[in-house]
Structure 1
Amino acid sequence: MAGKRTVLTVRLRRLAAMLHEMRETANLSKEVVSAKTGINVTTLYRIETAQARPQRRTLTAMLDLYNITEPARSDALQLLVDALRPGMARSYEDAVSEVYGAYINFEAEALSARFFQATFIPGLLQTEAYANAVYETSMPKISEQVREQRIRARTERAGVLTKDDPLELWVVLDEAVIKRLVGGPDVMRDQFSRLLDDTNKRNVILQILPFDAGAHPGMLGSFTLLDFPDPADPELVYVEGIATDELIEGHPEVRRYGVMFDQLRAMALSPRDSINMIQQTMEELGNRPI
């Protein structure tokens, strides 16, 4: 039986980056490290890319070889202890992809999130009925148990908006998102009420990108940018696709998505006008013939 997969967390990512930098500073190749410590080259690669969590003796061997002294040595060992703690996604790992599980862990510790969504309401702002309707139509073949776990994950994720130090959330929605009837009029009315309630939070900004804005940078797909309170944790981008999802790191790529988001929010309606559009759409639903 295969071992339980390692789902990425903020601290495991930080430890991986630290070990890579230490090896580079020591001017040692992975092959040399392997020869001197007995650690497999593939294992070293997986550790440095946060695909695997090192055992304490493995970490100690690496720190010894790199001549790491205090306080950096204790910092690395403490990060390993912290990385052993389960992330927010632990309860849902069997029901979500490895990348999405990692995203949930990152979101739980992020300082801010910037969403562009072209197809549906972001998970943090979805009602349970809306989420269920999305899964019923987009993933009709998943089991009821998996669907329930995924919906519960979306519901519990929303806690980041109301915790003591809440996530700063900025959302840009394509107008199609609020005009598409997901789950029927009743589900959409409840969903609109939820959106209006969430926009009353000081840490939530919502804008609608109207159809008449024309072509825009988000036409290639939806994405999320996460920023973290600790400078040691660089920004990342989460891109969710039909067949797969992806976490993107690296300054040039992340900066490109940041520029795209700035363009999208500049093209979108103001937060006040966006609320007015949601209210108007909500009223139109009430006038639909039965």
Structure 2
Amino acid sequence: MSEKRQHLPTVRLRRLAAELRRLRAASGLTREDVSSKKGINEATLYRIEKARTRPQKRTLIALLDLYEATEEQRSDLLAVQSGSTDQGWLRPYHSELPEEYTAYIGFEAEARTVRNYESLFIPGLAQTESYAHAVIKGVWAAATSKEVEQRVQARMERQALLTKDQPLQLWAIVDEAAIRRTVGGPTVMREQVRHLLQLTESPHITFQVIPFDKGAHAGMPGSFVHMDFPDPADPELVYLDTPAGDLFLESEAEIRRYKSMFEHLQAGALAPNDSADLLAMVVATRD
């Protein structure tokens, strides 16, 4: 595994970074202040606070001393630091996937709830293998066969989160366009919509559709994923997959904005039972 891969952000590393940012702000110190008082390079401190690198133990202790952390905070953050590089979710072939995508897989694997809005695609956690293959090949036109297969394999492995003993809670909302567009041909799409219909029977999966006749709605600017985690101390996360690159948003203002957006989408979409009826109708028209 490359050095770059070793420093992929993890949930624990993000928690450490968020708490160090909070403690510095509570102390009324700028990064420049910290650098002058403790001799820590400003660029290094920036990377620590953005979860881009794990602080050495002596650096963390120096920061906790400066911020006058309580014994409880000190004990908790030192414990987080000692285990913040755990990436047991990585598979050997993940080193060939984009760095941001492997980070996303890791966050998703540790999440409690995923709220996913998609305007044009079936959510990755709900895709059949045939649909995933068709959509990845169609969107990523320059990809080699090997690259397509790696993406498909990763997507199928992610779906194990929905069937584990304590399954991931998934709330997915899609625009009607996602279930109407014929991706991979009629047979592939019929199989895909049937699969969605089966998933709606799972108590930990909620699926809603925003019908065409709803008109303009809050999700039209684009798709997004909002995650929260079992431990309330772990900061929530929003993920955006854009043509310009993948983005992870974690400021309180950004989280509030996307949570509000998802709530508007929930209110504007068909109820889960009505969404299932629409899926059944789509299946019937494709038979």
TM-score (norm 1): 0.90
Match in the other structure for 1:269: 270
Per-residue CA shift, 1:25-46, capped at 9, x if unaligned? Answer: 4444323433444432101110
Match in the other structure for 1:123: 124
Unaligned regions of 5+ residues in structure 1, if any? none
Aligned CA-pair RMSD: 2.2
Q: Which aligned segments of 4 or more residues in structure 1 are displaced greater than 6 angstroms? A: none
Match in the other structure for 2:256: 255
Q: Does 1:187 align with 2:212?
A: no
Q: CA deviation at 1:69?
A: 5.2
Q: CA deviation at 1:285?
A: 1.8
Unaligned regions of 5+ residues in structure 2, if any? none
Aligned pair in 2 of structure 1 residues 92, 124: CA closer, same or farther (>3 Å)? farther
Aligned counterparts of 1:274 and 1:236: Cα–Cα separation in 2: 27
Aligned pair in 2 of structure 1 residues 175, 89: CA closer, same or farther (>3 Å)? farther
Deviates more, 1:207-216 or 1:245-254: 245-254
Q: CA deviation at 1:183?
A: 0.8
Is the 8 Å Cα contact of residues 95 and 150 (structure 1) preserved in structure 2?
no
Q: How does 1:65-214 map to 2 (within 5 A)?
A: 65-68=66-69, 70-86=71-87, 88-89=89-90, 91=92, 93-214=94-215
Aligned pair in 2 of structure 1 residues 95, 18: CA closer, same or farther (>3 Å)? same
Aligned counterparts of 2:11 and 2:230: Cα–Cα separation in 1: 11
Match in the other structure for 1:45: 46
Aligned pair in 2 of structure 1 residues 113, 56: CA closer, same or farther (>3 Å)? same
Aligned counterparts of 2:170 and 2:284: Cα–Cα separation in 1: 26
Q: CA deviation at 1:186?
A: 1.7
Q: CA deviation at 1:277?
A: 1.6
Per-residue CA shift, 1:191-219, capped at 9, x if unaligned? Answer: 12221221111001111111111111111
Aligned pair in 2 of structure 1 residues 2, 107: CA closer, same or farther (>3 Å)? closer
Aligned counterparts of 1:276 and 1:23: Cα–Cα separation in 2: 52
Query: 2:182 is aligned with what amino acid?
Result: L
Aligned pair in 2 of structure 1 residues 83, 90: CA closer, same or farther (>3 Å)? farther
Deviates more, 1:197-206 or 1:85-94: 85-94
Query: 2:167 is aligned with what amino acid?
Result: P
Aligned counterparts of 2:139 and 2:171: Cα–Cα separation in 1: 25
Query: 1:72 is aligned with what amino acid?
Result: Q
Is the 8 Å Cα contact of residues 14 and 235 (structure 2) preserved in structure 1?
no
Give 3-state SS (helix, strand or coil) of 1:218's partner. Answer: coil
Query: 2:128 is aligned with what amino acid?
Result: T
Aligned counterparts of 1:3 and 1:11: Cα–Cα separation in 2: 18
TM-score (norm 2): 0.90
Query: 2:175 is aligned with what amino acid?
Result: D
Per-residue CA shift, 1:237-256, capped at 9, x if unaligned? Answer: 21111231211222232222
